[in-house]
Amino acid sequence: MTATAPTPRLDVTPRLEVQGLFRSFEGREVVRDVSFSIQAGQVTCLLGPSGCGKSTTLRMIAGVDMQDRGKIFVDGQLICDTVFRVPPERRAIGLMFQDFALFPHLSVADNVAFGLSDPAREKRARVEDLLARVHLAHHIDHFPHELSGGEQQRVALARALAPRPRILLMDEPFSGLDERLRDDIRDETLSLLKEEGTAVLLVTHEPQEAMRMADEILLMRGGRIVQGGAPYNLYNAPVDRAAAAFFSDIN
Ligand code: ADP
Ligand code: MG
């Protein structure tokens, strides 16, 4: 008789799950019944025109704004509903915003180490490792003003990933950068995110960026997710004319 190896259990608990989020400002609903989930190692892009509710959705997940209705789970654990709320700093969620600047008075090394509570030697090793992987090892003792915009952005990515967040939320992180730099930084960012295995929610209004970076795109309009799926499914089979028009400037 042959022994049967135990069947490996597929871990299907999403890193992040949101269920039925709603948010109104002054009686106007700007996020309506938004639900989705993201697995470890997956990059999901929340894509839609300016004002459609992307940043509001992201802020509720970060815990700096609160939904009127709906639930948020990290690793299957409830972190927020309308009565229960884990504070932002205890959500194991990293943030990277366009205007989330580096601390000007701290060196590159100290910026990256900022959120780390590890002992000094481990902290230094993590900082050196991350800076090497964003090709900035030679700038470790420099200050932010000595770096280009693209280099500062890579330091900001290293800083966001240093504490090994379960989830990284990125809100239009590349929109302040020179057009010529963006594709390189997108590719470099993506490879680091994949190596780290972080679950990522990336907010953008640029279809090109979502097509380049996403495993899954959630197309948002007027506070709702109108279509979700793999980039080429949305591109090849847009849900309606407006979705088709939105993707039409990609070549
Ligand atoms: P996006 O990030 O997709 O551009 P936002 O989530 O920032 O959109 O905003 C969605 C809508 O909600 C916009 O009409 C915006 O003006 C409004 N809004 C966002 N935050 C507030 C607020 N704190 N008070 C009032 N209105 C807000
Ligand atoms: Mg926004």
Confidence of residue 2 (pLDDT cuts 50, 70, 90): low
pLDDT at site 209: 94
Does ligand 1 have an atom closer than 6 angstroms to the CB of 52?
A: yes
Give the 3-state secondary structure of 189-228: HHHHHHHHCCEEEEEECCHHHHHHHCCEEEEEECCEEEEE
pLDDT at site 176: 81
Are residues 175 and 98 in contact, defined by beta-carbon separation less than 8 angstroms?
A: yes
Nearest-CA residue for ligand 1 atom 10 is 53
Does ligand 1 have an atom closer than 6 angstroms to the CB of 49?
A: no
pLDDT in tens, 52-98: 999 999 999 999 999 999 999 999 999 999 999 999 989 999 999 87
C-alpha 119 to ligand 1 mean position (Å): 41
Ligand nearest to the CA of 46: 1
Nearest-CA residue for ligand 1 atom 16 is 51
Quick one: which of 73, 59, 10 has its CA closest to 30? 59
Name the pTM for this structure.
0.92
ipTM reported for the complex, 2 dp: 0.98
pLDDT in tens, 86-141: 999 899 999 998 766 899 999 999 999 998 988 888 999 999 999 999 999 999 99
C-alpha 135 to ligand 1 mean position (Å): 36
Tell me which DSSP letter residue 241 carries. H
